[in-house]
Amino acid sequence: MTILCVRFQLPPTREADLPRLLGMLEEFTPVVQALPPDGALADLRGAERYFGRNAVELASVIRVRSLALYGVDCVIGAGPGPMLARVALRDAVPGVTCAVPEERDAIAEFLADKPVAALPGVGAATARTLGDYGLDTLGRVAAAPLSTLQRLIGAKAGRELHERANGVDRGRVVPNAVSRSLATERPFGRDELDPDRHRRALLSAAEEIGARLRALEKVCRTLTLTVRYADRSATTRSRTLAEPTAHSPDLTRAAYGMYEALGLQRARVRAITLRAEGLDPADQASHQLTFDPVDEKVRRIEEVADRARAKFGPRAVMPGGLGGLAA
């Protein structure tokens, strides 16, 4: 067992702590891949030799260090490969690392009774299609003829599913993989009823997300809004953007649209979180050109503002609507 899949039990108000927790994992191995919003894969092959401990023992050290330094518990799955470690995570509980054995027969036994949806990447539609034919567990999928699976879900998908259900894990941990999402939260000092302050928080969050995306030279395809209330409940809405973007006004409009669609009536809001998902390189994204000179002007102003922020700090340039917002 050389791969760990770690899920940090971060409360919603501390999602921004994930980079620091990833840094803690990198003290054990440089081969760490983020799994936003609260997880990571870590390849411990070199660490096992260096520390003279196996992956399960190192998992215990990681758990203790996470609690001691950051006050964050975690659940950990371990396995010979990334896919198996992620499956093991489903059965892990705080304080106990769930480990998949390395022997082939033991791997098959571990997977046999798991539902098909336990495999990473198998969605509800695929699981439902297979279930209609009685292939509702990984053991049954593993025993099914490859040709049957390929007829049901396609040649490539069927071959990959057949291999993975039989414990073949061809994945690898990609170090320093670009996060597929970025999030920022705006908590209120007291439960906030004022819709104007809600909108200012959304504006601030969208501006920050846009600036961070542009600094990383990324664009996002989906924006997700989470509103948390005084009674600890929450509402989450997602919106796929018309085109991938890092343009703050576009992000702000999408955020406002999701907020308005909630139809909140005197809701006591405790915090607002905005998450950009489906990140792609900006140089691979297309932008629909317009004849609107205002749009071009706004984008040029945005570039200048980014340079000013990089030189003088993130609050050097702000939208007028945030002028009186406390730091």
**Using CA atoms in the order 250, 253, 258, 264, what is the torsion angle rounded to 10 degrees?**
160
Does 184 have pLDDT greater than 50?
A: yes
pLDDT tens across 102-155, in order?
888 999 999 999 999 888 878 778 889 999 999 999 999 999 999 999 999 999
Does 246 have pLDDT greater than 80?
A: yes
Task: Report the mean per-residue pLDDT for the chain.
Answer: 86
pLDDT value of position 323: 56
What is the mean predicted confidence (pLDDT) over 92-101?
90
3-state secondary structure of 244: strand
pLDDT value of position 125: 83
19, 67, 177, 180, 235 from 10: Cα distances, Å: 12, 11, 21, 18, 18
Residue 299 corresponds to which amino acid? R
pLDDT value of position 44: 94
47, 80, 186 from 57: Cα distances, Å: 11, 15, 38
pLDDT value of position 177: 55
Does 36 have pLDDT greater than 90?
A: no
pLDDT value of position 130: 93
pLDDT tens across 306-318, in order?
777 666 666 666 6
Q: How far apart are CA 46 and CA 48, in angstroms?
A: 6
Work out the burial of residue 139: count CB atoms within 10 Å of its CB; fewer than 13 is exposed, 13-18 middle, 19 or more buried.
middle
What is the mean predicted confidence (pLDDT) over 87-115?
91
DSSP symbol at 178: P
Q: What percent of the chain has a predicted confidence (pLDDT) above 70?
A: 86
What is the mean predicted confidence (pLDDT) over 272-282?
88
What is the mean predicted confidence (pLDDT) over 293-320?
67
Residue 67: both structure tokens together: 């609690």
- Phi, psi at residue 108, to the nearest 5°? -60, -40
pLDDT tens across 44-79, in order?
988 998 999 999 999 999 999 999 998 999 999 999
pLDDT value of position 327: 38
What is the mean predicted confidence (pLDDT) over 148-172?
91
pLDDT value of position 318: 64
Does 251 have pLDDT greater than 70?
A: yes
Q: Which residue has the tokens 């196996």?
A: 54
pLDDT value of position 317: 62
Look at the alpha carbons of 129, 236, 74, 218 in this order and tell me if their dihedral is positive or negative.
Answer: positive
Residues shown for the chain: 327
pLDDT value of position 55: 92
